């Protein structure tokens, strides 16, 4: 069997939270040391620029997210960890793909369509109001990210499956014109992938303002956890763990045995205060060591830079010769 190439992009917006950890970082860190695969993990900072045009914020978020992945143990020896913006070949490939992409295909992108619909609903004079070409072309840049490294498997959330279909579509069109040079990727959607609930019980997400940051002091972490919304059941009343936010977050960090004990204690009427304290202790124990590493990296950003630059060198050893081939194929070299 040919070696699989797994590739994941991380949009560098916002501050990493527990939901990012459980849904994306932890599974990727575990996979990053798998010797049967080549793994590419990159910071999609040019994707982040589409929504974030504040340079200080962009820089800060990129730093925090790189530090988080490194602190949580991403295996940068076995896998390749880099910043999208450090790989100019991706930008060049983006243009080649742009020339082969039907505008109509992009018109059908869910994210773009949703914004147009919003404008129509708000009776804006122009349905494309406030929509940049960056947003419109988003799926093409994402295709270049993937095709540049001949990824075979791309783990993504449900909302990104359409983008993978577009990447295949565009790659096929390129191959039809210029010969079989691009590898068609497949989306890998982990149906069990945990979607963590946030403070208010909805999906933990920056856009809902209900997140628990991954790396704050133990004291602040405790404070955040104490804010999780619960019902008014009294201590001593049996509580239903299913669908309960405290229990769900607990389960995402616990061993099976710890989960079983907690379930019994819910049935036995544990108080919300005690349940939250238990949750805090569990999460804090998992994060304590990484938190030290994170703080150290954030205090020494040159260490983060060194790591990602080395990643970029590794990545470019592949992207440079491959792009030369593609340039010859399209007739500019
Ligand atoms: N669009 C992805 C997201 O928002 C991030 C991303 C950018 C990505 N380029 C990618 C994911 C390439 C997978 C492969 O989550």
DSSP codes joined into one string, 231-252 = --PPTTS----TT-HHHHHHHH
133 within some domain: yes
pLDDT of residue 267: 97
* Contact predicate 188/11, CB 8 Å: no
**DSSP code of residue 268:** T
Contacts of residue 194, defined as CB under 8 A and 6 or more positions apart, other chains included, come to 22, 23, 252
For ligand 1, atom 10, which residue shows the shortest CA distance? 9
210 within some domain: no
The C-alpha atoms of residue 67 and residue 16 are separated, in whole angstroms, by 10
Question: In ligand 1, which atom is closest to the CA atom of 151?
Answer: 14
Q: For residue 310, what are the domain limits?
A: 4-195+301-330
* Whether residue 174 sits in one domain with residue 33: yes
pTM of the model: 0.92
22 within some domain: yes
Question: Among residues 283, 243, 282, 245, which one has the least CA distance to residue 261?
Answer: 282
**DSSP code of residue 318:** H
* Whether residue 124 sits in one domain with residue 40: yes
Over residues 274-331, the pLDDT tens digits come to 999 999 999 999 999 999 999 999 999 999 999 999 999 999 999 999 999 999 999 9
Over residues 44-91, the pLDDT tens digits come to 999 999 999 999 999 999 999 999 999 999 999 999 999 999 999 999
Question: Among residues 266, 295, 296, 267, which one has the least CA distance to residue 278?
Answer: 266
* Whether residue 229 sits in one domain with residue 119: no
CA of 44 to the centre of ligand 1 (A): 7
207 within some domain: no
Pocket test for ligand 1, best of 27, 44, 109 (most atoms within 8 A of CB): 44
pLDDT of residue 1: 64
CA of 285 to the centre of ligand 1 (A): 30
Q: How many domains does the chain have?
A: 2
Could you tell me the sign of the dihedral formed by the alpha carbons of 118, 190, 261, 18, in that order?
Answer: negative
pLDDT of residue 319: 98
- CATH number of the domain at 277, please: 1.10.240.10
* Whether residue 122 sits in one domain with residue 46: yes
Question: Among residues 150, 146, 27, 25, which one has the least CA distance to residue 84?
Answer: 146
* Whether residue 86 sits in one domain with residue 34: yes
* Whether residue 124 sits in one domain with residue 162: yes
For ligand 1, atom 12, which residue shows the shortest CA distance? 9
* Whether residue 276 sits in one domain with residue 228: yes
For ligand 1, atom 7, which residue shows the shortest CA distance? 9
* Whether residue 184 sits in one domain with residue 226: no
């Amino acid at each position: 069997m040919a070696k699989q190439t797994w590739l994941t992009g991380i949009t560098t917006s916002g501050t990493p939270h527990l939901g990012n950890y459980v849904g994306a970082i932890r599974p990727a860190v575990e996979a990053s040391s798998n010797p049967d695969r080549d793994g590419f993990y990159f910071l999609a900072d040019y994707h982040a620029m589409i929504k974030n045009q504040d340079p200080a914020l962009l820089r800060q978020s990129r730093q925090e997210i790189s530090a988080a992945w490194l602190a949580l143990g991403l295996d940068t020896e076995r896998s390749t960890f880099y910043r999208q913006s450090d790989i100019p070949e991706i930008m060049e490939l983006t243009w080649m793909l742009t020339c082969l992409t039907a505008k109509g295909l992009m018109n059908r992108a869910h994210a773009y369509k949703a914004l147009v619909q919003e404008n129509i609903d708000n009776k804006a004079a122009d349905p494309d109001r406030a929509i940049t070409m960056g947003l419109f072309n988003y799926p093409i840049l994402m295709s270049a990210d993937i095709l540049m490294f001949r990824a075979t498997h791309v783990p993504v959330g449900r909302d990104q499956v359409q983008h993978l279909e577009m990447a295949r579509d565009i790659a096929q069109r390129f191959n039809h014109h210029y010969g079989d040079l691009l590898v068609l990727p497949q989306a890998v959607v982990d149906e069990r992938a945990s979607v963590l609930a946030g403070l208010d019980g909805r999906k933990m997400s920056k856009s809902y303002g209900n997140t628990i940051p991954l790396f704050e002091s133990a004291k602040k972490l405790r404070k955040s956890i104490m804010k999780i919304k619960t019902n008014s059941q009294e201590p001593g009343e049996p509580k239903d763990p299913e669908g309960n936010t405290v229990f769900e977050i607990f389960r995402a960090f616990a061993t099976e045995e710890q989960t079983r004990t907690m379930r019994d204690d819910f049935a036995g009427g544990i108080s919300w205060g005690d349940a939250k304290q238990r949750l805090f202790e569990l999460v804090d124990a998992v994060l304590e060591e990484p938190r030290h590493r994170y703080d150290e990296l954030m205090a020494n950003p040159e260490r983060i830079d060194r790591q990602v630059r080395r990643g970029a060198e590794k990545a470019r050893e592949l992207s440079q010769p491959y792009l030369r081939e593609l340039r010859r194929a399209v007739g500019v070299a």
